[in-house]
Every structure is written in structure tokens, then in C-alpha cells.
Structure 1
């Protein structure tokens, strides 16, 4: 979710793994140590004093679960950087994508090492991931696939410098990381390469953000029925319906006014696909984080978590938007 703060378990899109507090103190509040005094033992038991009624607990207000002010500030800052780099010089935005990819790979490989002891080699992943983004921009899908294959090969060779124990799981995790972060991000640079590339990328970003916003707003207010309680207890079916409605409306507007030769009905289909892929992306990273036993992938972005916590819905949505735009209006 790019800039939308997480939501409580009542509805929306936040995982809340906090359990109930464990009560402390003795098992019985009125329990006292036994006395050995003869006089105390011979006294008649006294009637206990009636306890004062406890005040009713004040109803708790719904909370976003994070520092909302910091989340909004960071989101606005990131949005400004993206827009300036996107519409001033295309090559600068390619650099922004590459930096996000490298940081995301660092977060992912660090968490794998800390929580599972899996040591996916970061150096070939970072170099190959950045090269993958550039190759996709310059050479299209063919360049992206070649860079992906070379990155996977580099991971296999680099890991050979360490002892063989754990080799298979390390290189498998490395290949997964190469596909999950830089390869999916490459579709953003491929969108950018079109003549109207900045507007295609802007459409992609708007639809993903609007989908997350719709899920947040509708799920927070009306969410009752869980969507995938074993994976993400905070997600609701009502939130998914909100994501679909918001994204389809935004898609119709974007295709009509931002994309050359686009039509509003194409935007409806595009918005529906974005809502589905963004939701699956959120669930996918929730599955990874639950397996690792963590709530966030990092702490780099106050109020948001890490870079990977903001890329979760963007990464799987990028190839969907790229493909549908090529089918609807051509590669540009």
C-alpha cells in the first residue's frame, strides 16, 4: 500500500498480531497469607466490606494503528519525489525505481537471514536488480528477461564461495527475491519507456493508491466479514468491495483523460484488475511476514514500516497494468 496508513482489525487492511495482555498478580485478589496468631485464629470471621462499584470502561476509539501524522507526511514527501522525477526527466525516475528495488532487496534478505537463517546473496541481487530495471527501460521485455536470467545465474555462482550447507535454500530464496522485487518492478520502467510513459505510470500509481484508499475507507467504516482471516485478519469483504468500486471509477477517469486513445470502459476493466492484484499483493506479503513472524519488513519510513511494506500492492500490479495498457492502446 503506497501511502495509505494501516487500519485496525475491525476493518480495512492491517494485520494486528497483538494478543491480549496476560493478567498479573495472584490468582485470587482477596487471597491473604495465613496467620499463626492464636487470637486471630479464635476470632469470628468478619463480613467483608462491600467493594465500590467499578466505573464502566470508556469505549475505545478506532485507531489507524500507526502514527497517522508521520504516515501522511512521509506519503506526501514520497509522492512529491515521484511526481517531480516522473515528469521532469524519465531517466531520473528510472533511478528512483532502482533505488527502491535495492532497498527492498536489502530489507527482504535481512529479514530472511534474521528470522530463518536464509542467506540470499545481496550483492548480485542488488547489482542484477538495478540492471534489470535499466534493461527493461532500454530494451523492453526481452532485456528484462535476459537480466533476470543473468541475475539468477550470478546468485548461484556467488553463493558457491560459502560452505555448501544451506546452498539450495539460499539460492532458491535468492531467485525468489530477484523475481519478486526487481523483475516485477521492471514493468514500471517498461511502462515509462512509452511515448506517454509518465501518464501510464501515473495511472498505475493512482489506481493502486485509490484501490488501497477504498479498501481502507470502506473496510474501516463498514467492514464486518473477514476476507482471509488466517492470512490477514484485518481485511474484509466490504473493504475489497470498496477497493473495486474506487479503482473502477478512477480507472474510467484515467483512461478517458490521461491515456491517449483510451476509453472509459477500458478503465473499468483496468480498475477491476488493479483492485484484484493489489489485494493479492497485500495478502502475499502478509503471508511472508506471518511466516517470518514480523509485522513490518523494516522501519525506514516512519508511519509506514519499510520500503517493502509500501511496495506490496505495487509490485504485482505493475505487470497487470502494463499488459492491459498494451492490449488496450498499444506499447506506445
Structure 2
């Protein structure tokens, strides 16, 4: 398992860096579109064990996610339009569900989980898009986000391994500890200060003291949230896309929660 994880990382990380550095905004948009569709395809079975990835409702979700990412790419202030796409899914999704009400009466449950999926995945990924499209420091914002999330994960792992005693949320993730959580915040803070000094100089030091510890806190919450979805459905991994790492949603769960925070600070010009 560890060898698979290492090999996957050795292949994926250089490709990702190359894609971000050399691919340009349009190719990055296509990458985020693919991530949104794949992550949604892993999300639906987590919230409904009877879900078919190619049923009408998931297909509507995939199409909507593509539109949402495209809007995030093409509009300077896309948030109203993105919410419009989400709201449009209420009557459209309701129509699909009501058409089969006799065989599956759980219309409200299916519709709510569908709408939440759009808010949880493509809406959060839209924040990643907007970070990349910053005209001066877009690439560096993406690097800073990814490095901070990775440093948080690394800090949490080692702090939890060597010092972990108090369980953080045993009902959801028995392996996570309070000490690991604090180590993740510390790792995010250290990595954030390094990235600020080297690549994002316009970010104020006071803002760093807020942004990076907060990112180190919300990232693990994203991990815990996805773990709760998996535990409630009895699924160990969201998928098998990445050998040794599980599904794509398993890899981006922390990023989905951290990206809007980074976007907020970028907009503030902190």
C-alpha cells in the first residue's frame, strides 16, 4: 500500500505542477472540469447506496458542474450565476425524481443530496478557479493553497503519530487526534509563511497569522466531513482512481474546504 502511494505521488505531483505552470488558464479550467465530474461521480454513491452514476440526476449534476466551472472561468464575479445554476437544479431535478415517484418515493432526500453535492464540489472548486485567474499571482495562489494543505496533512500525520493521545472525533475517524489537529495547524502556518516570503509577498503578515492557521483547521474538517459520508454509507474509500490513495474525492476533501478561505483573503487583498 505504501509503495503504491509513493509511486502514485511520484507520477501525479510532477504532472500536476507542470499542468499548473505551463498549461495556462484554459487547460487548468479543463482540469477542474474533469475533477468536478469525477468527484461528483464518487459523491453520489456515498450519499445514496442505490445511486447509479449514470442515472438522470447524476448526469444533470455532471452537466451542471461543467457549466459552473465554465462560468467561474468566464465571469469576473460568477457567484450569482453559480447559485442560479444550483437553484435551476431544484425544478429540473424534481422533475426527474417525480417521474419515477412510484418506484422511488424518496424525492426530497435525493433532491437535497443532489443540490448539496453541487454546493460541496463544483461551487468550492469555483474558488480554486478564481484563485488561478488572479492576473498577477494566480499560479502562486494555487501553489500556496496546495502546499498549505499538504503541509497541514503532513504535520497532522507526524504530530498524531508521535504525540497523539486524545481522540478528535472517534465516531467519524478513530485515527485522528487533537494533537494531530494542532500539528496540522502548525504545519500549515510554517508552510504558509515560507510561501508568503517566497511567492506571495503582497499577502500581509497579519493576514498570514489568520489565513494559514484557519486553513490548517478547515482542511481537517473537510477530511472529517468526507469521512462521515463514507462511514454513513459503509464505504472505505470514495473510489479507486488513485492507487494507494483511494478516490479523487479522498484527495481533495481538505482542499474543498480550504479553497474558499484562500479566495476570501485574496479578494480582501489582505
Against the structure 1 CA distance between its residues 151 and 191, is the aligned structure 2 distance closer, same or farther, given a 3 Å change threshold? Answer: farther
Structure with more contact order per residue of length (Cα contacts < 8 Å, sep ≥ 6)? 1
Alpha-carbon deviation of 1:272?
Answer: 0.5
Matched residue count: 263
Normalising by structure 2, we get a TM-score of 0.90
* 2:58 aligned residue (101, 122, 143): 122
Contact 1:187/1:318, CA 8 A, preserved across alignment:
yes
Structure 1 residue 314 displacement after superposition: 0.9
In structure 1, what is the equivalent of residue 72 of structure 2? 136
Q: Distance in 2 between matches of 1:71 and 1:115?
A: 30
Larger radius of gyration: 1
Return 220-229 or 147-156, whichever deviates more: 147-156
Equivalents in 2 of 1:83, 1:173: separation in Å? 33
Higher helix residue share: 2
Q: Is the 8 A contact 1:124 1:158 kept in 2?
A: no
Q: 1:189 to 1:211 in 2, by over 3 A?
A: same
SS at match of 2:99: coil
Are residue 91 (structure 1) and residue 91 (structure 2) matched?
Answer: no
1:92-151 deviations in Å (ceiling 9; x for gaps): 111111101101111111344436899781111001011111211221333333333334
1:303 corresponding residue in structure 2 = 244
Instruction: Specify every segment of 5 or more residues in structure 1 that has no aligned partner in the other structure, as ranges.
Output: 1-66
1:311 Cα deviation from its structure 2 partner: 1.5
Please say if residues 199 and 258 of structure 1, whose CA atoms lie closer than 8 Å, have aligned partners that are also in contact: yes
Aligned-pair distance for 1:191? 1.0
Secondary structure of the 2:243 match is: coil
Q: Determine the structure 1 residue equivalent to 2:88.
A: 150
Please give the alpha-carbon distance, in whole angstroms, between the structure 2 residues aligned to 1:120 and 1:256.
48
Query: Could you give the per-residue CA deviations for residues 278-319 of structure 1, whole angstroms, max 9, x where no partner exists?
Result: 011111111111111121111111111111111211111111
Q: Aligned-pair RMSD on alpha carbons?
A: 2.1
Name the counterpart of 2:10: 76
1:263 Cα deviation after fit:
2.8
Conserved 8 A contact 2:45-2:51: no
Q: Rate the CA distance shift 1:224–1:133 in 2: closer, same or farther, 3 A.
A: same
What TM-score, normalized by structure 1, do the two folds share? 0.74
Equivalent in the alignment of 2:183 = 242
